[in-house]
Chain A
Amino acid sequence: MSESGLPEGLSFERPIFEMVRKIEELKNLSVATGMDLNGEVRPLEEQCEKMTRKIFAGLSPWERVQVARHPDRPLTGDFISRIFEDFVELHGDRTYGDDRAVITGFGKINGRRILLVGHRKGRDTKSKLSCNFGCAHPEGYRKALHKMKLAERFGLPIVSLVNTPGAYPGIGAEERGQAWAIAENILEMSRLKVPIVVLVIGEGGSGGALGIGVGDRVMIMEHAYYSVISPEGCAAILWKNGEKAENAAQALRLTADDLHRLNIVDAIVSEPLGGAHRDHAAAAALVSEAISSALDELSGIDTELLLEARYERIRHLGQFFLGAE
């Protein structure tokens, strides 16, 4: 945070924040002196909005990745407290432990009962460490599956909030079958007999994201990304240079628009001007509406038809080899 209480921001946000500070100064001056400065403030506000719109419309894929990772971006916990009333957290995978990188529990959205699963990244250093920065272990995926099977039994639709740099790469994770846990989750989510709505709220990091990411509706927030590998990892392997992450981010087609064009996501959820981190309440309202309307669409569909449509959706992911050369 800077002295004015505004975040320092990402490099491309600086001109926006500079202008916001100027506007604040004028407003303070107006209050302090009693002068009417509306004539000065309004055009500046309009100019600021225009500039923000322009900057955010022109973000490069790599800059969008920065927005998706923004330290002030709303996390799963923020959406839970703003959208899901009466949240009852449920812990543990019944086999090994309770992975804090994944949160699961019952909740209500606009009165509708659901089961929520989501990645948890943590905000401050302590909580970030306790949930491994959102990188889940096998027990996280198994916890999610255990609770999703409860949802199936009790007829509760599932809402999954995806936000992970990737599944945890570690010794314990491999010893406990990281690949096995993710694979079983993907398989089971393709045939769970209740509606599943998935929303990528920040980082959709590879198999770690897909491990709770299969559903009837898969949506992504405007400045979130979803990728087969992190731009840094891709750069290190294909460019043999981790500093080419910007090039990799461009090449991977990981932005919301790209993913929508490739039919990987069904819808893009708009964010408040300047990104979800600028206004958590407004972001939550938009997310709430998108999830609710997806649940509305899916409710009441005959289970067999729901599963058939889900299979067809998955079956046709990536069919771009068909058609003319």
Chain B
Amino acid sequence: MGFAFRKKKDMPSGLWTKCRACGKMVYQKQVQEKLSVCPECGFHGKISSAKRIEITLDPKSFEAFGEEYLPRDILDFTDREPYAEKLNSTQGKTGLTEAAVVGTGTLKGMRVVIGILDFSFFGGSMGQVVGERITEAVERATGEGIPLIVFSASGGARMQEGALSLMQMAKTSAAIGRLRDVASAPYISVLTNPTTGGVTASFAALGDIIVAEPKALIGFAGPRVIQTTLRTDLPKGFQTSEFLLEHGFIDRIISRDVMRDELARILEYCLA
């Protein structure tokens, strides 16, 4: 599940990088300046949750909550390595405690609750802690009557927490049901590359307004699963943001450089 930019070994180290979408070699510094957007094809690569906060919220306005919920290996799950060990090493590598970062902040002066799935932590997958943090974000927005913005990037439910992960789909969705019942402020769901599986089929698909970054892979079943099941090639552009816009499932496609401005424009219409 990767559309990151890949370093190529035979090129001068760190200078050039290969875009996974168009395959072209691009100047790495330029990619960084363009917020991981390919200067050749416009593909939006992964960015960290910290970077996302930086380019979305007003400086120093972000305050995290839910950090007290920490993942644990409840099922004693071991595949090729124990889940507990993988959690530890991932926390060390990423500096994150879990795949969801949630908190409050201001966007052009408007107070919002923000949630971000960080793909670098277990592919942004939803286990119990991601479910809990997102649910708290929804409840916080509902309680305070302020907008909720969630940026998704996820492979789906986290397998290592079994059916407990699956149940987070119910938990987050039920909380959004209450938000729809009582809150006057909107929930904007932002789909980024890639968003699939149980995350798409719960809170990511439930936005009052749903937007996506260009050319993102978005769907329920992963393309490889569909290909294996149907034993056929998939149509060009299948399961992209553009495909979803065409089929009526998202409101707008917004590129990263103007995301903050566009979110503010939408919010202005939804707030009293």
Contact = CB atoms under 8 A, between A and B. Distances in A.
A251 B78 contact: yes
Interface string B37-55: 0000000000000000000
Contact of A228 (B157, B177, B181, B205): B157
B92 to A, nearest CB: 17
Interface of A: 167, 169-171, 173-180, 182-184, 186-188, 190-191, 204, 206-207, 210-211, 214, 226-229, 233-234, 237-240, 247-248, 251-254, 258-259, 262, 264, 311, 314-315, 317-322, 325
B225 A233 contact: yes
Interface residues of B, number: 63
A61 to B, nearest CB: 11
Contacts of A253: 75, 162-163
Contact of B201 (A179, A188, A214, A227): A179
A80 B160 CA distance: 36
B167 A183 contact: no
A223 B157 CA distance: 24
Nearest to B132: A321
Given A182-B201, A226-B163, A319 B75 contact: no
Contacts of B78: 251
Contacts of A239: 79-80
Contacts of B170: 186, 190, 210, 214, 314, 317
A321 B169 contact: no
A174 B219 contact: yes
Contacts of B174: 186-187, 190-191, 214, 311, 314-315
Interface in B163-187: 163-171, 173-178, 180-181
Contact of A171 (B175, B206, B235): B235
B142 interface: no
Given A175-B247, A187-B176, A188-B177, A318 B164 contact: yes
Given A186-B169, A239-B79, 14 more contacts: A169-B220, A173-B221, A174-B238, A178-B201, A182-B205, A183-B173, A228-B157, A228-B198, A247-B79, A251-B79, A252-B163, A318-B168, A320-B128, A321-B70
25 contacts: A170-B221, A171-B226, A173-B220, A180-B201, A183-B169, A183-B173, A190-B173, A227-B162, A227-B166, A228-B161, A228-B165, A247-B79, A251-B78, A251-B79, A251-B162, A262-B163, A264-B164, A314-B174, A317-B164, A317-B171, A318-B128, A318-B131, A318-B164, A318-B171, A321-B129
B159 A228 contact: yes
Contact of A179 (B158, B180, B181, B205): B205
B75 A251 contact: yes
Nearest to A183: B205
Residue of A178, A207, A227, A233 with most partner-chain B CB within 10 A: A207
B128 A321 contact: yes
B159 A237 contact: yes
Contacts of B229: 169-170
A251 B163 contact: no
Contacts of B65: none
Nearest to B196: A179
B27 interface: no
B74 interface: yes
A167 B135 CA distance: 24
B163 A180 contact: no
B192 interface: no
Contacts of A234: 159
B202 interface: yes
Contacts of A206: 157, 166, 198
Given A186-B170, A186-B173, A318-B128, A177 B249 contact: yes
B64 to A, nearest CB: 16
Contacts of B235: 171
Cβ-closest 7 pairs across A and B? A169-B221, A190-B174, A317-B167, A179-B200, A238-B79, A179-B220, A318-B164
A181 B231 CA distance: 25
Contact of A254 (B161, B163, B226, B239): B163
Contacts of A176: 247
Nearest to A191: B177
Contacts of A248: 79
Nearest to B244: A177
B77 to A, nearest CB: 5
Contacts of B145: none
Nearest to B131: A318
Q: Which of A180, A191, A247, A314 has the most CB of B within 10 A?
A: A180
B206 A227 contact: no
Interface in B221-247: 221, 225-226, 229-230, 234-235, 238-239, 243, 247
